[in-house]
Structure 1
Amino acid sequence: MQTITFIGNGNMAKSIAQGLKGKYNIEVVGRNMERLDAFEAALGKKVEKFPLDDFDITDKTILLCVKPGNLESVAKQLKGKAKLLLSVLAGVPVEKLKKKIKSKAVVRAMPNLAASAGASMTTLTGDAEHREEAEVLMRSAGSVLWLESEKEIDIATALAGSGPAYLALIAEALADGAVNQGLKREDAMLVMRGLFAGFGKLIQEMHPALLKDSVMSPGGTTAAGYSTLEKGRVRASCMEAVEKAYKKAVDLSS
């Protein structure tokens, strides 16, 4: 079984590792051994744990899961040359990664937290000769899409990478709305989760506009609620959220 080396042990690393643990051996590298122990406990599987100081990456397949601002300090503590470096650092371009960390190939990957359930939407770009290897690896955590440019993956980061936070806000707000009208909190949460579970399946089959039109009958309850969302600029705010997140990714690349 192939070994995947995680450098970093935060939420994203844990989510991806949950998706990969059945198909790969996992080793994790970090500064704090207590946090590495917590990583192992959260994963529910034995992993090899190593301190970051002078860690040798020679011929390893690396998943770099540190914060973009920590790239410089982490890179200085690595030695050797990796076989493949997959980076989940938002906005950090391939050329910068190659300058900081020695590797035969570099691929940028942008998964999301649904990786922990094997349901991430992961976008990839980078050294095309390693496209298949990167796709096979990340497909263990969900769906994958190879993009042809780093601009595209920065845009996709703003959509799929950040998207769970946007949808969580909407989910919480809808449940709060039901509670505000008198539904018990626990019932509102169950209804909301059922809504999202069903919607997730429907959106795979239908265009959003057609899905909306199939629910919204003239003068009905959905139309009344929908008009309120439009008055509140929910559509425009979602588009602006993607724009702001994309611009932040571009800022991180400089």
Structure 2
Amino acid sequence: MQTITFIGNGNMALSIAKGLKGKYNIEVVGREMEKLDRFESGLESRIDKYLLDGFDITDRTILLCVKPANVEEVGKQLKGKARVLFSVLAGTSLEKLKKHIKSKAVVRAMPNLAASVGASMTTLTGDHRFQREAESLLGAVGDTLWLNSEKEIDIATALAGSGPAYLALVAEALADGAVKQGLKREDAMAAMRGLFNGFGKLIQEVHPALLKDGVMSPGGTTAAGYGALEKGNVRSACMDAIEEAYKRTKEL
């Protein structure tokens, strides 16, 4: 099996590693062996562990999962030149990656936390020579979409990368609404999970507008609830969320 070298051992790295486990040999590089041990425990699989300082990346396939602000510091501690660098750092340009970490090729990837259950929506851009390899690697943890520019991946980061947090807010609010009206908490949570499970399948086949029209009968319950959402400017707030997240991506 091909070996993937993770540099960084945070939540995103662990989520991706869970998806790749069994499909690739995994080695992880970090600052503290104690945290690397916890990473291994969370992965529930033996891995090769290395400390960051002086680590040689020569001819390795690197998956960079550190915080965007730490790219320069991390780059100073690495030796050699990687075969290819796949970066999951939000808002970190190809130019900046090339400046601080030596690699023959660079690809940006933006997965989300659903990678841990093999259901990420990962957007990609960068060196076209590695498009197929990037799609294969990140395809092991869900769907992939290759984009032709860094502007596009930054916008997609605001949608697919940050999206789980937005949907989590909606899910929690809907369940809270049901509890407010008198449904038991455990029943509200079960109903909400069933809703999202079914909706996730429907949205793959049906346009959102058609899905909405199909369930909204004249003067019915859905129309009443939908009107409340429009009154609360939920549509506008969602669009603003993408805009603000995109702006923050550029700032990073």
TM bracket, shorter-chain basis: over 0.9
Partner residue, 1:163: 163
Per the TM alignment, residue 32 of structure 1 is displaced from its structure 2 partner at its CA by 1.5
Structure 2 partner of 1:233: 233
Query: Secondary structure of the equivalent of 1:182?
Result: coil
Q: Where does residue 196 of structure 1 map in the other structure?
A: 196
TM-score by length of 1: 0.98
Equivalent AA in structure 1 for residue 140 of structure 2? S
Q: Distance in 2 between matches of 1:42 and 1:94?
A: 31
> Which residue identity is paired with 1:226?
Y
How much does 1:214 deviate?
0.5
Q: Any gaps of 5 or more consecutive residues in structure 1?
A: none
Q: Which runs of 4 or more aligned residues in structure 1 lie more than 2 Å from their structure 2 counterparts after TM superposition?
A: none
What's the offset of the Cα at 1:194?
0.5
Alignment correspondent of 1:73: 73
What is the aligned-residue RMSD (CA, Å)? 0.6
Cα distance in 2 for partners of 1:22, 1:177 equals 41
Match of 2:173 in 1: 173
Q: Which amino acid aligns with 2:105?
A: A
Q: State the percentage of identical aligned residues.
A: 76
Instruction: Find the aligned partners of 1:48 and 1:180 in 2 and give their Cα distance.
Output: 50
Q: Deviations over 1:109-145 (max 9, x none)?
A: 0000000000000000000111111111010010001
Equivalent residue, structure 2, for 1:92: 92
Distance in 1 (CA, whole Å) between partners of 2:124 and 2:22 is 22
Q: TM-score, normalised by structure 2?
A: 0.99
Matched positions, count: 252
Distance in 2 (alpha carbons) for counterparts of 1:108 and 1:43: 24
- 1:19-34 equivalences in 2 (<5 Å): 19-34=19-34
SS in 1 for 2:219: coil
Aligned equivalents of 2:38, 2:244: Cα separation in 1: 34
SS at match of 1:124: strand
- Name the CA distance, whole Å, in 2 between partners of 1:97 and 1:73: 12
Q: Aligned with 2:183: secondary structure?
A: coil
1:206 maps to what in 2? 206
1:16: how far off? 0.5
Q: Once the two structures are superposed, what CA deviation does each residue of 1:201-247 show, in whole Å capped at 9, x if it has no partner?
A: 00000000000010111100011010000010000000000000001
Aligned match of 1:246: 246
Q: State the alpha-carbon separation in 2 of the partners of residues 192 and 32 from structure 1.
A: 40
What's the counterpart of residue 6 of structure 2? 6
Aligned letter for 2:80?
G
Displacement after TM superposition at 1:33 (Å): 1.2
Give distance in 2, aligned partners of 1:138 and 1:106.
14
Residue deviations 1:5-35 (CA, integer Å, cap 9, x gap): 1111111001111111120011101112111
Unaligned runs of 5+ in 2: none
